[in-house]
Structure 1
């Protein structure tokens, strides 16, 4: 087998991280194989070497994200092989609010929402107690215009908010944050980035022959796997005997990075704020013109978080983020504990596939 290494290369989308990171820290760090035309197996062997020698965790601790440039992966199956080379445990989705379609082993579409709708900054599954340690995105087709994947550093964001609004961070550390999620039992919402249904989120064990009572028992058993969740069945009728499902999660909004010990603004609160702002539902009763309840994230005690804190966060994210541009066949690896990601609207063909992974040992 040929000797192949990954080396840092220039990448126009990279930015420099501010404190607390060392001077001239590149975000993301771009790595390219020494011989891009080498066979896939050589590239996989080089990834295994990065892991076995301990280089990979050091790179991620320093940079937070790695853009693997000039990989030339041809399809979802090659991406799956690449993702498995890191040796992590596949992450299991529980209660995913985003629709995804499995395309290869531990590989799915990233988000099937329309290309006109952005996805706002969030940590992957930051609104759940069950979240992945790492996220890999793979570009099957690049967009004609737009379609960047904005990423921002959660540790940098925490430090900035602590300096600008120490009372906000103090409240979050004391109270946590509360999310409301809604899962209809019916056709999914094709106009939103989210829009998964009850059965798609929690009904993997439900059979067509199950009674309503049995189906609910199976769904609620899945929900109980998330110990911080509470739920309620809504809109039960003769036409909808199962009903729609509303769940609530009360979670920490600030978490310590398990490897570095640094504090991170780890949550989906900014995303929920921006979605509510676009929908015009920041103020009570948090209901859209169509009658849909779409609140922002609350403090964990149910009280409203002042908008100014989120405005500061959004402004800082835009100043410090990297707008990751895509070339077909390339991959970005994100340390989910340290990095938030988003999605810009686009035109033309664009497809990203996602692979979610946990640490080799259970958290």
Structure 2
């Protein structure tokens, strides 16, 4: 039995009930007449009964409730689940996403460090604590990306920081269009090439200190690679995975591989039909700028290689435009300050995310779970 209003609702099953009550969190935004993000506190007959709660989450999700909320609000915070273990996150998020008919996202070309913690659950990017990650939709630089990415706070830094800023990608698009419309039209016309250099673990190519990743890694291009394989065999097996994303790649003398993906600058959300700023420009620019890698040879002070974002014809995009984009991304952020056990559901098609730095020595553990809508429509290319 389900009793519900627009934002407050309750679901009961066999004498066990779970109630979702809208709560206020500081500094939420109103976007397209909807609160961003929507925050719901969960109360249950027994908040420690993961099995019963998961079954109810599945039933609610099967009825379309979470899809409707995510489409309307973009991000939904569930607070009060009472268990901050990796296994709890796995059970809860799997119930919600399988109820929606979603499938775990297959990562290809991961350019960061993540570790699996439970079924369909990974650590968030393991980059150094003092590194800020700027607004980006997950895998938006790629031709293959998840429909949803969900976050879960397992451990919060004691001395502050470590929050997760999120932003609405339609608002992002609109604000950039208002301020620099000529850039929007230029991007739309010329399209984008996203370039990433993947170092080699076998050849010990130069890598970013503190966030090492290699093309041989399983979630990069190493799904079929065996340790005993020769280097040439590893390359051949990696190429099978690379070609699932793009045919435009080249091997370098140090054993690294440069992968180029050709993507539209903007997309249209498949349900709302609104344009979204869905690309890797802002995240790449902010990271490259902070690493002092904006000029040739694009080697950062942390040892990594940060090739610039370019138009599809190879022309490097003006830093003047990208600085405006980066500023706007900071102005429209909602900074989510984590409480342990928070579960933040995110529609990756219309909401970007970042990461706030925290103090060295503090421990911050935020987990992620990514899902794909294999049967649904993907965001299509958008031209203003």
Q: Same fold (TM over 0.5)?
A: yes
Is residue 2:185 matched to residue 1:185? no
For 1:198, which of 207, 215, 221 is the aligned residue? 215
Query: 1:152 matched to which residue of 2?
Result: 167
Query: 1:44 matched to which residue of 2?
Result: 54
Query: 1:245 matched to which residue of 2?
Result: 257
Distance in 1 (alpha carbons) for counterparts of 2:85 and 2:365: 11
Distance in 2 (alpha carbons) for counterparts of 1:171 and 1:335: 27
TM-score normalised according to structure 1 size: 0.90
For 1:58, which of 59, 64, 68 is the aligned residue? 68
8 A Cα contact 1:80 1:104, kept in partner: yes
Distance in 2 (alpha carbons) for counterparts of 1:213 and 1:277: 35
Distance in 2 (alpha carbons) for counterparts of 1:219 and 1:334: 31
Local SS of the residue matching 1:59 = helix
Query: 1:254 matched to which residue of 2?
Result: 266
8 A Cα contact 1:129 1:251, kept in partner: yes
8 A Cα contact 2:208 2:303, kept in partner: no
Moved more, 173-182 or 333-342: 173-182
List per-residue Cα deviations over 1:153-181 (Å, max 9, x = no partner). 11101111122222211122222211221
For 1:270, which of 269, 282, 306 is the aligned residue? 282
List per-residue Cα deviations over 1:120-140 (Å, max 9, x = no partner). 211101111110000011111
Q: How far apart are 1:99 and its partner, in Å?
A: 1.3
Distance in 1 (alpha carbons) for counterparts of 2:303 and 2:330: 31
1:1-363 mapped onto 2 (5 Å cutoff): 1=14, 2-12=16-26, 14-18=27-31, 21-22=32-33, 25-35=34-44, 37-38=46-47, 39-86=49-96, 87=98, 88-144=102-158, 145-186=160-201, 189=207, 191-193=209-211, 195-200=212-217, 201-226=220-245, 228-236=246-254, 243-288=255-300, 293-347=305-359, 348-359=362-373, 361=375, 363=377
List per-residue Cα deviations over 1:286-332 (Å, max 9, x = no partner). 34468864233112221122223222222222222111111111111
Q: Which runs of 5+ in 1 are unaligned?
A: 237-242
Change (3 A) 1:248 1:190: closer
TM-score normalised according to structure 2 size: 0.85
8 A Cα contact 2:18 2:45, kept in partner: no
Distance in 1 (alpha carbons) for counterparts of 2:43 and 2:262: 47
Moved more, 345-354 or 299-308: 299-308
Local SS of the residue matching 2:44 = coil
8 A Cα contact 1:109 1:351, kept in partner: yes
Q: How far apart are 1:248 and its partner, in Å?
A: 1.2
Distance in 2 (alpha carbons) for counterparts of 1:265 and 1:134: 16
Q: How far apart are 1:98 and its partner, in Å?
A: 1.2
Local SS of the residue matching 1:294 = coil
RMSD: 2.0
Moved more, 269-278 or 183-192: 183-192
Local SS of the residue matching 2:216 = helix
8 A Cα contact 1:198 1:245, kept in partner: yes
8 A Cα contact 2:149 2:348, kept in partner: yes
